[in-house]
Chain A
Amino acid sequence: MAGAVLVRPRPPPSRGITRKWIEMRYLPLTDTDRSAMLATIGAATIDDLFVDVPEAARLDGPIAGLPLHASEMAVERHMSRLAAKNVAAGSVPFFLGAGAYRHHVPASVDHIIQRGEFLTAYTPYQPEIAQGTLQMLFEFQTQVARLYGCAVANASMYDGSTACWEAISMAARITRRKRVVLSGALHPHYAAVVRTMARFTEDEVADALPTVQAEPDNQGLIARIDDATSCVVVQYPDVLGRIPDLAAIAEAAHAKGALLIAVNTEPVALGAIKSPGELGADIVVGEGQSIGVGLQFGGPYLGLFAVRDPRHVRQMPGRLCGETVDAEGKRGFVLTLSTREQHIRREKATSNICTNSGLCALAFSVHMTLLGEAGLRQLSALNHARACRAADRLAQVPGVTLVNRTFFNEFTLKVGRDARVLVRQLADRGILAGVSLGRLYPGISALEDGLLVAVTETTSEEDIEALASALQEALA
């Protein structure tokens, strides 16, 4: 496991008979305070307050082998050195997606989420002094519900993958069935989370590998739906970037009494294509990271969760913010319908979730407010235009084939060799070329020549040209 920590240790504090306290910039008590407080308490030493800890287990000094406290400057130096060992997406031609997308986040978003009143607040359990967070959540819920074409959205989940499992769990409660049909083109990490959870809850999971073809295999998916199916889970756009016809799948699912769960990992797409709710999805979940949150090496991200039918709201997981009035009749907001939640219902709760992704929801909401309907549509159009340009250019490279007939801002290429190796080679040449299907589906040889390429508004013409010529050289 981990090697030595690199911050230079300081000498240990002197350990005489009279205990010396250390001075540390985050600890405001002075020695005089501590002595006075011990006197008030009626304790002779601090150790008297730890008498309930069995003596055999009590540590008598700082844990050996770990460094001692360090100055702000020293810590900053250490962390900066670690950060410098990473290749930041913005420093190279960059084409990775597969569930996390690089978008430009306006500077004011980060400014607002760093306001202490948002950053250092708790879950709004005392609504009279948390209207800022609560009104923001009400606005966020409205934005998400409208983007997804749904009636109600909750106040967020951890991320898209956990929201996906929670949706399946909710569908099982509504339909009282335990068979889940996963589209083969659901993000494999999402499918892995589902399989992991289902193994313990004894839900049956019918899954499949993706077919690397121009169109998603809708008929194959529909054929797997039966009378025991609680829900069908379809990613939209799918993991290969294709845009499935959700309406046909919704119809087939509903005919068997099953629910359609739509999973979206790129909310920017929904500025350009029809909302899942509009196409008949019953529960819509997804990853909100693209709007406001940033890449952050995979987390924290933002799980979005919405339902089309408001009657299903009492089966939803997570927190919900609702409108009400105060004692003077003024409009205000509170967390509501909490009898679904663990802190009230305990083992009968709809989910065990407590802390969610509040600050990421704020970032999403601020960015979405800056975009507005007009801005989101422009952003979506720009992403699609850049992606079309890149797909056309890359398809000209000898040895490269574009798989997709449809896509939004991400598509699959076949490169005629192990794309995982190719990605590593191009990374060594300073180009982050995309996500190989071999990384997502290790050991599946039929998929190993696939390369997922994502293109956003941050991708320049020069970036596309750099990737095209690097591919051309590498494949020559």
Chain B
Amino acid sequence: MNAPAKTPNASGWKPEMTPAGGAQPATSTGNRALLLEEPLLFEIGHRETTGVDFPAFDPPAASRLGGMERTAPIGLVGLSEPETVRHYTRLSRQNYAIDLGLFPLGSCTMKHNPRLNEKMARLPGFADVHPLQPASTVQGALEVMNELAHWLIALTGMHGVAMSPKAGAHGELCGILCIRAALEARGDAREVVLVPESAHGTNPATAAFAGYRVEDIPATVDGRVDVATLKARLGPDVAAVMITNPNTCGLFERDFREIADAVHAAGGFVYCDGANFNAIVGKVRPGDLGVDAMHINLHKTFSTPHGGGGPGSGPVVLSEALSPFAPLPYTARTKDGVVHLVEEGDAEAFETEHFGAPLQAFGRMTAFHGQMGMFTRALTYILSHGADGLKQVAEDAVLNANYVLRSLEDVLDAPFAASGPCMHEALFSDSNLAEGFSTLDVAKGLIDEGYHPMTVYFPLVVHGAMLVEPTETESKAALDQFIGALRHVGERAKAGDAALKQAPVFAPRRRLDETLAARKPVLTWQGNGSG
């Protein structure tokens, strides 16, 4: 390293320090004991500093860059290793995480991430393998894909699975494209995809991205799909319905089989959004309910870490009718025990030999084979639980959610509490809060109590929705403490406690001005770098 002598924080940037409520003294640094402020990388880094050592080497006699050599500065800055570790460690402490406490985001399934999964994914035989190595050198990796595929098919009662989609929404797209390819193969042009109002935003976005027109299907007063309306809308123009089951109100769609039969009778396909599979894994197989395609978020049900927004992984299980259209590449084990990666060019010969005729893959969704690093983690998790443990996962997840629902329905409005038990998540509304108090206030109040808020303002079918998904990895003691905290905040909101409007006051930041951020977007650091 050839860094010049420098002073820490050369820019002199210092956070503004106004103590919450005016009761606490200001500090000269802006820090408050373990609450440490951290400047931006670009305010503390230097253009000349690097935290990486390189061996000495001879430059080539002549560059082969063809006159494209970079001449202008890039504008990057570096930190030494100790400064780097400290920068990111300080930043990390401004995050809430599952490792710190219950993370009740409905529909997101924030369960404990076992560390064995991390350890297995880092074995060099998985982590340090190139996607285009010859198949003979990656048999173990292909076996992981194939073994996970076997589990996903068995757990869902489906016929096949496409492993390559990179996340849930990418899986949705894969499933809808399989449907479109199957319809095109039979010369059946259909234009419409029906999506219930309570669906995740990715559902209508996916259908539109795949070239379909989206029509909403309303919910009934008990929080489920309006079957009569849906059936009445079916016809020769409807390609598919996309239904989340259990749905985003936390309820099982009792009439799913009836819906599926009606859709099939009308010549359409049934897409199931599998985001909430955690509630039913090992209890019921979607294949037995008439599903044609369903993505599985490995980062939800099978506990690969969310990582602050990904990476996810969204394999799609497929019915017999859709399996031939699954995208390339895919894995298949032949009788000799060898696992093959079937890609473009090889597919036709392979399929003719082993399946009797070529399949009809609709194409390719991504450069390589999918989220291998997530496959190893998910398979590790699945093998740890086994068939019996996964069933227990669903039961405990549903038990925990119902416990939350019944422990809080006297404080918060639970619009579907009378509909019977919920599945893995409990839904509340803002309807009994005091005038001028909203779901947002309850959420921010929970932050001061030391919790990440639940999912708020979703699903859209309930006013001021608060969707609580505790997951199965919470103890009763943890649930009791959370219930106590939400009860307390809920009572403050019902009583019109003005101080709640100021929450959070104990977090690293107070409420942030999102309007300003959108009106005058500042999306990159505008300075020139120190150093």
Contact = CB atoms under 8 A, between A and B. Distances in A.
A273 B309 CA distance: 31
B99 A117 contact: yes
A102 B517 CA distance: 38
Contact of B308 (A348, A359, A443): A359
Given A26-B112, A287-B367, 16 more contacts: A69-B385, A100-B131, A117-B96, A119-B308, A122-B309, A123-B309, A128-B511, A192-B364, A270-B74, A295-B127, A352-B169, A352-B205, A359-B308, A374-B2, A384-B65, A428-B136
B125 A122 contact: no
A372 B138 contact: no
Contact of B386 (A70, A353, A357, A384): A70
A193 B367 contact: yes
A133 B2 CA distance: 30
Given A153-B524, A189-B368, A343-B201, A370 B52 contact: yes
A88 interface: yes
Given A112-B85, A133-B95, A435 B132 contact: yes
B473 A369 contact: no
Given A135-B40, A384-B65, A372 B386 contact: no
Given A37-B403, A69-B386, A128-B509, A370 B51 contact: yes
B410 interface: no
B205 A119 contact: no
A159 B366 contact: yes
Contacts of A295: 127-131
Number of chain A interface residues as a range:
35 or more
B252 to A, nearest CB: 4
Nearest to A438: B345
B40 A330 contact: no
B99 A375 contact: no
Interface stretch (A42-50, A218-226, A251-259, A462-470): A42-50
Nearest to B473: A26
Contact of B333 (A1, A42, A53): A1
Given A27-B472, A78-B383, A114-B118, A22 B389 contact: yes
B132 A69 contact: no
B366 A162 contact: yes
B310 A358 contact: yes
A147 B74 contact: yes
A94 B130 CA distance: 10
Interface string B137-166: 111110110110111011100001000001
Those 6 A-B pairs whose CB atoms lie nearest each other, nearest first: A372-B78, A442-B345, A196-B363, A298-B368, A359-B307, A83-B125
Interface string B266-290: 0000000000000010111100110
B492 interface: no
B306 interface: yes
Contacts of B390: 62
Contacts of B46: 372
A127 B502 CA distance: 15
Contacts of B94: 129-132, 135
A85 B65 contact: no
A449 to B, nearest CB: 16
B208 A98 contact: no
Contacts of A91: 124
Nearest to A195: B363
B364 A89 contact: no
A422 to B, nearest CB: 11
B508 A355 contact: no
Contact of B366 (A84, A86, A299): A299
Given A297-B372, A370-B81, A372-B77, A130 B140 contact: no
B227 to A, nearest CB: 14
Interface stretch (B56-64, B230-238, B427-435): B56-64
A472 B144 CA distance: 36
A305 interface: no
Contact of B92 (A2, A132, A406): A132
B369 A299 contact: yes
26 contacts: A5-B147, A26-B112, A53-B254, A79-B120, A79-B383, A86-B141, A119-B99, A152-B524, A200-B211, A270-B70, A297-B131, A313-B523, A325-B512, A330-B510, A331-B16, A337-B521, A347-B205, A347-B214, A351-B205, A352-B208, A358-B311, A359-B305, A369-B78, A370-B84, A382-B54, A441-B345
B282 A10 contact: no
A387 B398 CA distance: 57
Nearest to A74: B383
A141 to B, nearest CB: 5
B33 interface: no
Contacts of B415: none
A91 B189 CA distance: 52
A385 B311 contact: no
B202 A120 contact: no
A149 B122 CA distance: 34
Given A24-B385, A142-B525, A372-B46, A334 B514 contact: yes
A355 B345 contact: no
Contacts of A210: none
A141 B524 contact: yes
Interface in A24-66: 24-30, 33-34, 36-38, 40-43, 46, 48-54, 56-59, 61-63, 65-66
Contacts of B418: none
Contact of A99 (B150, B344, B367, B388): B367
Contacts of B130: 89, 94, 96, 100, 102, 295, 297, 432
Counting chain B CB atoms within 10 Å of each CB, the highest count among A22, A327, A360 belongs to: A327
Given A2-B146, A193-B366, A352-B169, A116 B372 contact: no
Contacts of B77: 369, 372-373
